[in-house]
Amino acid sequence: MSRYRGPRLKKIRRLGALPGLTNKRPKAGSDLRNQWPFEKKEKKPYLIRLQEKQKLRFHYGLTERQLLKYVRIAGKAKGATGQVLLQLLEMRLDNILFRLGMASTIPAARQLVNHRHILVNGRIVDIPSYRCKPRDIITAKDEQKSRTLIQNSLNSSPHEEVPNHLTLQPFQYKGLVNQIIDSKRVGLKINELLVVEYYSRQT
């Protein structure tokens, strides 16, 4: 299944706030979550698990295959699978740029990376899924276009709080990864256990 490129408001009306997908908000009274035919009856456990999985997928902008791959990696790692899964997703380069405020959404961050505007430890990285590590230094390429794109994003959200595992130096167009994120500080309201359970029941 390919990455979603359709109407973004449609997804947040169904699934709730997905800050990584879009910074737009539905108009008051236009929430469609209570208009699903399923919502009139008590939700079935499968539907609840599916919706949590879809939240994760659309927020981080993943394909179904990519998310399944992350779930399998998390399942083989030490620690709770759900928490490891969130940490893996949060440490992606495109998400780090979004959490720093250097991109307004994760799709915008992915475009910055794909167009080679971003350096990690002084080297161009054009892979959005690049897994950042503690002490990584993320900067804009030393070109006016790259810095202008990032400055526009910083100007549009100047009061957004940068999470504790990151440090932003806006005047240098630089971000620092201090540590692996605590899964409790993930920028999405999600029950990751239901996501893991969803995939465990598919196999």
pLDDT tens figures, 56-96: 888 898 999 999 999 999 999 988 999 999 999 999 999 99
Among 99, 91, 174, 80, residue whose Cα is nearest residue 134: 91
pTM score, whole prediction: 0.83
Question: Which DSSP string corresponds to 21-74?
Answer: T-S--PPTT---GGGSGGGGSPPPHHHHHHHHHHHHHHHHT--HHHHHHHHHHH
At 44, is the pLDDT very low, low, confident or very high (cuts 50, 70, 90)? confident
Instruction: Please report whether residue 52 resides in a domain.
Output: yes
Query: pLDDT category, 159, cuts 50, 70, 90?
Result: low
Say if 1 falls within a structural domain: no
pLDDT, mean of residues 42-65: 87
| Cα→Cα distances 166→61, 80, 95, 147, Å | 21, 23, 12, 19
18 and 52 in a single domain? The answer is yes
Give domain status of residue 3, yes or no.
Answer: no
Long-range pairs of 23-29 with CB within 8 A, sequence gap ≥ 24: 23/104, 23/105, 23/157
Instruction: Answer yes or no: is pLDDT of 113 > 50.
Output: yes
Domain that holds residue 141: 92-179
* Other beta carbons within 10 Å of 158: 8
**Is position 108 within any domain?**
yes
Given this model, what pLDDT does residue 73 score? 94
Q: Residue 68 falls within a domain, yes or no?
A: yes
Answer yes or no: do 23 and 42 share one domain: yes
- Region 97-125: mean pLDDT is 94
2 is a domain residue: no
Instruction: Give the CATH number of the domain where residue 98 resides.
Output: 3.10.290.10
Residues 106 and 64 in one domain: no
CATH number at residue 24: 1.10.1050.10
pLDDT at 189: 82
